[in-house]
Structure formats: C-alpha cells, structure tokens
Structure 1
Amino acid sequence: MIRILIVDDQREEREGIAYLLEKYKYPVETVQASNGAEASRYIRSHEVDILFTDIKMPIMNGLDLAKEVNEYDPQIKIIIFSAYGEFEYAKQALVANAVSYLLKPIEIDEFRQLMDDVIDSINKRKVLYEKKQQDDMQNRKNLLYKVLTSGRVEEKEEERLCEILFPKENTIYGFLDIEFMGNYFERQEDEFLHFVKMYLGDQAKYIGIYPNKAFLILPYVNRKSLEEQLKKLLRDIKTQTGDECLILISSQVTEIHDLIEQLKRMNEIHMEVLGYGDQIIAVADYYNRTEYYAADVEIASKQLVTAIESKNPDLVREQNKKFISCICSLEKVSRLYIQNLLYSIVKAVYDIVPGTVYEKVLILAEALFQENDLKTMLKEYERIIEFMMDSLENEKVDESRIVQNIKNLVEKEYMKDISLNYVADKVNLAPAYVSYIFKKETNQTLVKFITDVKMQKAKQLLEEGNLKIVQIGRACGYGNQSYFNRLFKNYYGVTPKQYREKV
C-alpha cells in the first residue's frame, strides 16, 4: 500500500488532507507529523511514497524538508501545499523536485487529479521496479546458487556475475553468509530487508537462497564497525521473533575467484560450528577461536564406550553423566568434533543392542545427526542412550526366560544325546547366542550344565538300584559305557559300580 506522510504544524490542516484521501477512497496509508524535523526522522526509518508538506513550520520548514528528502530518496513524490502563492516559494519547490505546489484552500478537483496522476505514476514505477528486482534477484540467486553448489563459474557467466555482485570497479567488497535455525526468510524477509537498510544502508545487496539462508554483499568497511551494526540487527530480530542466527563475515573480496574461495571456507565453518546462538564469525579469525579437542571429553567418551560394551547399566549411567558434563563445560566446540564423538558412542550402542531393534537405533541416529544446535543434539543423543538401556533391560528379561527354558529342556530330555546344536535348534536360536546368554546368566557353560544334570540323574538311578549300570548309562544319554564310567568317576571320584556298592 502507498504511504503518505502529511506534514503541517496545524492539526486541522493535516486532518483535512487525511479526510479527503479517505473520502475519495484512495488506497493509501496516511501518517502525520507536526514539523519538518519530525517528518525527516520518520522518513529515515520508514518507507514513504508521497510527502505532503506545508511550508512555514517550526524547527524545520517544508522547503528545507523537501530538499533533504529529495537528496535522501529522489523516488519520494513531494507535494507542497501552502497559503503563500509567492513565486519565490514555487521556485524553491521546483528546485526541491516537488511534483506540485498547491495553494490553500485546496481545490477538490485539482487535488483529485493530482492524486490520481501521482498514485498512478507510483504504481507503474513500483510494478517496473518489482519486476526488475525479481529478475535481478532470480539471476543473482541462480548464479550464486551455482557457485555455492559447484564451487566454480563458467567463463561466459563470470562477467554477468561480476556485474551483479560487484557493480563498482576498484571497490573492495565484503560477503555475509546469514543462516537461521528456522525458516526465517520465508516468514520475515521484508522485515529483514528493513533491518538491513536501517543498519547496513542501501548498498547491501540481498540474495535469498533458502527459506533459512541468504547472503549479503556490500562494500567492505571497517570490520569492527560492521560487527557492531550486525549485533544491532541480530538484537532487533531476536526481540521481534526470537530467531537465532549465524552470520559469517568473509575476508575482502575483489573478484569472483576470491568469492569462490571464501564460500568454500564458509561451507567448512558451517560443517563445524555447533549451534547458532546469534554468532558473528569472521572467516579470517575462525580457526583461532575454535576448540577442536578437549582431553576430558575424549577420555569420558572412551570410558562411556567401554561401559556400553560391558552392558552394565549402572556403569553406563555413571559414565554418560560424566560425558555430558564434559561436553557442556566446553566454551567453544566444533560440530564435526562433537559429531565424531557421538558417532563412536552410537556405534557402540548399535553393536550391543539386539538385532530386532537395529532399525530403531538407526532412525534415532538419523535424527541426532541432522541437528545443529548442541542442546537439541544432546537431547536426541540421550534418547538413544535411554532406548539402549530399555532394550538391555528387555533383553535381560528375555534371556532369563530363554535360559530357564533351556534348563527345563535339559532336565526333561536328559536321556537323549543333548548337544549345544540340539538345544539351539529346540529354542530356535543360533548356537553361539545360546552359548553366550547361558554363560552370562548362569556363569557356567551349557555343556557343563548338561553334564551336571546327567550325572545327578545317574547318581539317583544308582541309588534306586532298579537298573543295571549299562542301562543307567543309556538312560542318561551315554551309548558308550566306558565314556560314562570315566565321566562319572571324574565327577564323584569313584566308578558307578563302586558308588553302588558303597550305597
């Protein structure tokens, strides 16, 4: 919508102009100021299309205001209305580039014709400007996107890219890479451009790439001054929407090859910086401020991996708490460094959980490694640890049940030639896994348990005295009598015959 600023020290005059605009239903927004100084301040912080101003006002008169506005933004249409018809005033209005000089009281027909012409002119200019901006923006976006994705520019495109990005010869430029956690530009692009104009001026070229990422190219200024202005910009964004942002400041750029090199460095930084939290980082200084290695964290991560491999829940909880504490104590961290540590821990989790939950671990890991923010990343990591602990608890219950079933099977079928493979086939599990869980649960091998059961049964049958010794051996699953005799003697120190005689 077109915005009109009406300036007059007489409130009735301002209200009169506003009334006419409303009465004849002009599609405009009206704003009022009581003197030139107030109007000047407003124009420097807001977009204005038409300035309606009286001449004689306190602090700053209308002619001085018109001259100042024409120098600040020649696109603003200036209309002067005054009770003074002297030629000198009209001449000064022409010098100030006013489109019209209306005498009070205003003639309605003249006013309406003037407004129709001015608004039509503004609308046509805006349509052309917006189309040019859209075309220019798309060209810039396409070319820069190509540079970002391929890291190179074809020779035939280099000249056009230079025209778009570096319009002034012999000018050193700076390049800002701006990335938000959320889709800020999709929601607040207009407000962002307003902040850019306010703090960085009209020369900053905006190039939108993604809903959360954009670039600014501007003449290189004192970096300290630039950082101060960027802090103000981030402060206003934070106040308005709460969005967090990372801004990377390039080194000086004078040609396309400089730009490509800086983009590569910026991509490297994005891969390493963990979280945003309204950071402003100069590419030239980055590697002096990033901490890649912390001994306490490294040790804590290795101890945690060992605890996970031991499947000891209490030890895992203790070491995990220590690891998290070490991570949170770091003042500066590299995202790649933290991700590498977490990868080694997640791999240890993947290696020890039951095969039935592998897919769930992979889904949780994918969510973890998509995060940039440290707090969110650790939250996703904790979900993996908790899932592992639950899986181990469930596995422990299942393994106890499986081992009990194995014991019941052996005690029921002791008279058969029972082997590890026989038991594994009966419980539908791999022999190696059966051997592993039985030893873990009972602290003895399955073969030892089978032999114990058979020997106890043989001893019982010998005590009952109803069967011959050879029959007892076969009843306990031993077809080889000599082997049965040797095994029994190893267990009880006497042969089956000697044991029966003793009983």
Structure 2
Amino acid sequence: MYRILIADDEKDEREAVKFLLKKYKFELDIVESENGHDALQKAKKQGTDILLTDVRMPFLLGTELASQTRELYPNVQIIFFSGYNDFPYVKKALTLGAVDYILKPINPEELRKVLEKAIQKLNARKQIIMQKQFAAAYLQNHVLSRLLYGAKAEMLCSEYRDIDLAFLEKFKQLLLLQFDNPIFGSIPQDHFEKSIAGVLRGWPHHFLNLNTYQSVLFLQDTETDSSVAAMAQILQKQISADAGEPCYISISSPLTGADSIAAAYAQAEKALDDRFFFRNCYVYPIPDKISTSLESYEDDDALLRSAADAIRFKDSYSLQKSVNMLLTKYQHKRNQSHINVSYILSQLATILYSALPADKEDLQVVIERLYFCQYFEESKALILDVTKRVVATLAADTESTGHTIRMLKQFIQNHYGEELSLSRLAKQFYLSPHYLSDLFISETGCGINKYIKTMRMEKAKEQLLNTNEKIQDICKSVGYTNFSYFCRSFRETFGQTPESYRQSAH
C-alpha cells in the first residue's frame, strides 16, 4: 500500500481530499499535516510515496517542502494544489518534476485522474525495480551455479563486463542442503527461504536451489566454525520439519574467494558420503572426536584370513572376534566409498558362507543386498546375521564343548610324556589356541598348562613310589627335558624334592 501525505493549512481542504480518496476507493495510507514544517518532519519519520501539498503554507512553503522531500525520496510523486494560478509557482512545480498542478477549488474528477496517473507511475517504477531485482537475482544465481560447477571467476568477469561481480567476495562459507527425495521440487522455494531467514535472523545469506534434491546456502560474515555448526543444527531441524523428512546439511571449509567455491562445494558433497557410516547424523562433516581411532586395527586381508582360519579350526570365538573387528574398523571410517566397503563385506560374506550348507544363489543374494544397503548399519546387521548362523553350524559340527574337553584330557593322558604345546593341542582338535585355552578354562576352571603340569607331577610321584627308575629317567618320561626345572616344579607341588619324597615314602 502506498502512503500519501496531504499538506494543507485548511482543515476543510484536507477533509475534502480524504473524502474523495474514500469515494474513489484509493487504497492509500493517509497522513496529513497542517503546515510545511510538520509535514517535512512526518515525511522524514514515516516516509511517503505521494506528496499532495498546497503551495502556500505556514513555516515552510509547499515548493520548499516538495524540494526537501524529493531529496529524501527521489521517486516521490508530487502534486501541487493551490488557489493561485501564478506562472512562477507552475514553473517551480515543473522543475521539481511534479505530476500536476491543481487549482482550488479541487475538481473531483481532475483529482481522480491526477492520482491515478501518480499511482501508475509508482506501479511502473515498482515493476522496473522488481524486474531489475529479478534479473539481478537470476544473474547472481547463474554466476554462482557456474562457479559451483567449476567456471573460473576471471572468465565470468570477461563475459559479464557490465555486471559488478564484487558480491562474490562477500561469501565466506557455504552450506549444502540435500534430501534423499526430490523435496525441493515439491515444496515452493519461498517456503524454504522464509524458514532459513527465520533461523538466521539477519545473518546475511543467499539461497540457491540447484535441483530437486540439492540447494546451497551462501553465508556472509561467518564468525567461528562453532557458530556455523550450531546454526546448522537448528536449521537442519527446521528444514526437516518443514519437509517431513530428514534434510542433510554439509558445512564447507571457509571460502577464500570466488574460485574456491567449486572446491568447497565438492568437499561438502564428499562429506555427505559419510552418511553410509553415520546413520542418525544429519550435519556434516562429523567432528574428528566422534570418529573411532583405527590405527591399531589389522589390515583387511589379515582380518579376513583370521576369519577363514577360525572357520577351518571351528573356532567360533575367534570368528566372532575377527568379524566384529572388521565391522568396527569400518563403522566410522573416513575417506571410504560405499562401494569399497561393500566389496570388503562381500568378501567376508563369501568366507562365512564357506561354513554354511547353502547354495551359491543364497550367497549371491546376500552380496547384492550388501551393495544396495543405504546405511552401514544395514550391512552390519546382515553380516552379523550370517555370522550367527555360522556360529550355530560350528557348534553343531563340534557337538558340545564338554565332549571336546573330555577328548583333550584323554589326549593329554596318553601323551603327557611328549611335548604338549598349546599350538599342538589346538591343531590336534582343529581349534585356535586362544579359543581352546578359553574353552578349557571355562569347562575346568584351570588353564591347560596347569592341568598338564599337575598330571605330570602325579605320574612322576607314582613312578617314584612304585619303581626303582632313576629320577633323571622319570623326569624325561613325564615330559621334562630340564632336570633342575623338574625338581623345582616337584618341590613347588609337593613341598619336597623328588629324592626326599622317595626316601620318606620308604
């Protein structure tokens, strides 16, 4: 709505003008004043689009009021009305660019036509401004789009020589807004722009829609990375609420000029690749402190070999450990493509399926699902499900742990006089050393080495009591190659040396 300032020292004249404005249904915000000085103050304070002023007024002539108002608002539409048809006043009015000069008493029809003419000029001016703004905005968006996709600023400056591209240097950082579905094509752009303006609260910015999935928000005057990150978190919640589905936001590194825009956009896009690893995170890049430290993990080939060896030795414990280490390694690993991770996990699936009585088609279905998983958590769940089936199969193959331990004890009973290393025993029963050790402790409450030592000491004691063999020969017969160590072990077990024990027994 345009504002009209009616300046006349005669109240009846002002009332007559207001009556005619209402009669002809002009939708104008009406301000009135009874003298030139008061009118100028109101113009300064409230602004005005149309000045309808008498020529002669107290304190400040209408021509001077018009002149000073024109300085304040160059596009103001000025209309004089007066009871004096003096050429000097008419000439002054023309120099001020007045729309018209109306004589009193005011002719209603003449006033209507003059006001319509003034409003037409205002509308035309407004249309020109809107067209210029639209053209400027379109050009800005066009230039920014080309910079995002790799055009150089120097080339654009040569192409658009008549356009000032200094606005590009005002941008300090960009935010990439992205949906998994074509949301930017289904919701009006101005809806997003209003939400963004509400969150930024005066923070200078420029919104650019790239396609139905992506938009870019250019920021000016960024203060700190933390303030941008905090704002991005709030903006993500607001945009997601507006769209009815999650919006992902990626914060670029600071811009260092127009030619850095393409690299910043590419970096922001790449950061969103981590969505595969961080299912419930929506603002990227993820701070380093959230990412798991992975330097201590073995390489992929070693972990895959460990899984294969665990299956060969029917070692469920080691298998689950290898699988979990590989999954943890890639849970939050940076700079890895979805395809590469899916390839590693498909190799693991192939190893796991070697222990299952399933056909190749079942394995192929699992591999295809791995490649189509949208998030790492889905891939992880799929691998863990297969691992669970493999563990169950291995348990069935080895019957029960109790049976395994009974067989192990029997083997030790029959071979206690030989070298009985943990690796030899594990190989004998197709288990990993670590798993066999844990299994034995779980079933018996003591370690394998302690069990072997106890059995050897008991066998040595029997021979000392029941035979006349030399102690050195008994030492060798129960599996010891170092006589001093045998004697020390015997004393630790029974509180006497082998010689003293034999003498006291007889």
Query: Which TM-score bucket, shorter chain as reference?
Result: 0.3 to 0.5
Determine which structure has more spread, i.e. the larger CA radius of gyration: 2
TM-score, normalising length: structure 2: 0.45
Give the alignment's TM-score, normalised by structure 1: 0.45
